[in-house]
Structure 1
Amino acid sequence: MDRQRIHILLLEPSHIVSEGLSHILLKSNHRFSISQYSDLKYLDTIIKKEQNTVVILNPSLLQNRNKDFIKIKNTYPSTRWMALVYSYFDQDILRKFDEQITITETAKNIISKLIKISQHQKIDSSNQQATLTERETDILIHLIDGLSNKEIANTLSISIHTVISHRKNITEKTGIKSLPGLTIYAITKKIIQLDS
């Protein structure tokens, strides 16, 4: 395993989220150095100082700063960009990033993505999160609607055991166990609409 130090610039307005993610990364067995900031103000100056840099950025900070962001990205092509997502963002914004992580992901998954992206490897999203089948998608929608396993089984005319099996598959494929996390996942993957 490559033990090269990875410099992380964490740009997140929420102190709690920033501290939590930093704590998870620093207690891992990897060599991360983390600098925390709450806005884009000094980003250009900070990136100049470090090599092997990964910027983890809350996309909300890009509001009305799209041109600045593109300019900085083009100036530092070796810098890797990760979106830190915990609410809905338009896919056009998220496509500007090399990768994205959500606050519902496991620490292992986040660290794995950081290692890969720092080595300038494009992360194979089919490996990270396999696509849900049509039946799993149906079950996910019913879960988000608040139906129990039994109600889902009755609605879809399948057994409760089949529902439970599909729920396990959903958890394995997404890496998300909580209902709020699955809701965010469904919104970001456009499985459900925000107003539904």
Structure 2
Amino acid sequence: MKSHDVINVAVAETSMIVRSGLISVLRHLPDLNIQTLEISSTEGLHLCIESHRPDILIVNPMFDGWFNVEELKQQYNVHEMKFISLICTVVDSNVLKGYDESINLFDNIETLSAKISLMMNVEEDDGDTDSLSQREKEILGCVVKGMTNKEIAEKLYISVHTVITHRRNITRKLQVHSAAGLTIYAIVNKLVDISEVKMKL
């Protein structure tokens, strides 16, 4: 799937505040083209599955009492659909069987974007493989300054996992795998000043 392709995401949550807030965040995810559907009842969920078949269903495991992923997959034969549990409260891990991924109320926008991108195998368009997002440029600048993944995560208020995902995407887009090559790219493209580069002797 290319980054400009539409990803249809349905959000099933009875709390209007949580549901609307998550939908607002999904619509503003960088580098992803997401169309959303709001679901507030069991009837709405069944109607959505029957008529829209979203690519991803984000659902509170306690939706309308209790939500059975495996039962829904069997009933509607939607084995290709991805299911993300929306964790709003403490949940028994057995309840999460059958889900492809989990998100919670404390996940930041980069974590949510990374999870959806990985789940949907989102690839950059061929014409854009050498262009880095603003966040990737920030991370590359930190890398060539000698910062660790943990230091970068703390500076940019993102998780270490998200930093690692961005670093992987940077090397894939640039097709540069050495520290020296990344440093040269950062200097030539004015992402850092040569005086800021931490040299390793």
Equivalent residue number for residue 112 of structure 1: 114
State how 1:66-85 maps to structure 2 within 5 Å.
66=68, 69-74=69-74, 75-85=77-87
Query: Does 2:3 align with 1:6?
Result: no
Equivalent residue number for residue 103 of structure 1: 105
Please give the alpha-carbon distance, in whole angstroms, between the structure 2 residues aligned to 1:80 and 1:61. 17
Please give the alpha-carbon distance, in whole angstroms, between the structure 2 residues aligned to 1:54 and 1:64. 19
State how 1:36-185 maps to structure 2 within 5 Å.
36-50=38-52, 53-61=55-63, 63-64=65-66, 66=68, 69-74=69-74, 75-119=77-121, 172-173=159-160
- Letter matched to residue 18 of structure 2: V
Q: Deviations over 1:13-62 (max 9, x none)?
A: 11111111111111224211111011222323312333551000011116
- Letter matched to residue 5 of structure 1: V
Please give the alpha-carbon distance, in whole angstroms, between the structure 2 residues aligned to 1:43 and 1:18. 14
Equivalent residue number for residue 25 of structure 2: 24
Secondary structure, counterpart of 1:113 in structure 2:
helix
Unaligned ranges ≥5, structure 1: 121-164, 176-196
Please give the alpha-carbon distance, in whole angstroms, between the structure 1 residues aligned to 2:117 and 2:53. 14
The structure with the largest alpha-carbon Rg is 2
Please give the alpha-carbon distance, in whole angstroms, between the structure 2 residues aligned to 1:87 and 1:173. 24
Please give the alpha-carbon distance, in whole angstroms, between the structure 1 residues aligned to 2:53 and 2:115. 18
- Letter matched to residue 72 of structure 2: I
The 8 Å contact of residues 52 and 78 in structure 1, kept in 2 or not, is answered as no
Q: RMSD of the TM alignment (CA)?
A: 2.8
> 1:71: Cα distance to partner?
2.6
Please give the alpha-carbon distance, in whole angstroms, between the structure 1 residues aligned to 2:88 and 2:48. 25
- Letter matched to residue 77 of structure 1: H
Q: 1:59 to 1:36 in 2, by over 3 A?
A: same
> 1:174: Cα distance to partner?
7.8
Please give the alpha-carbon distance, in whole angstroms, between the structure 2 residues aligned to 1:27 and 1:36. 16
Unaligned ranges ≥5, structure 2: 123-150, 163-201
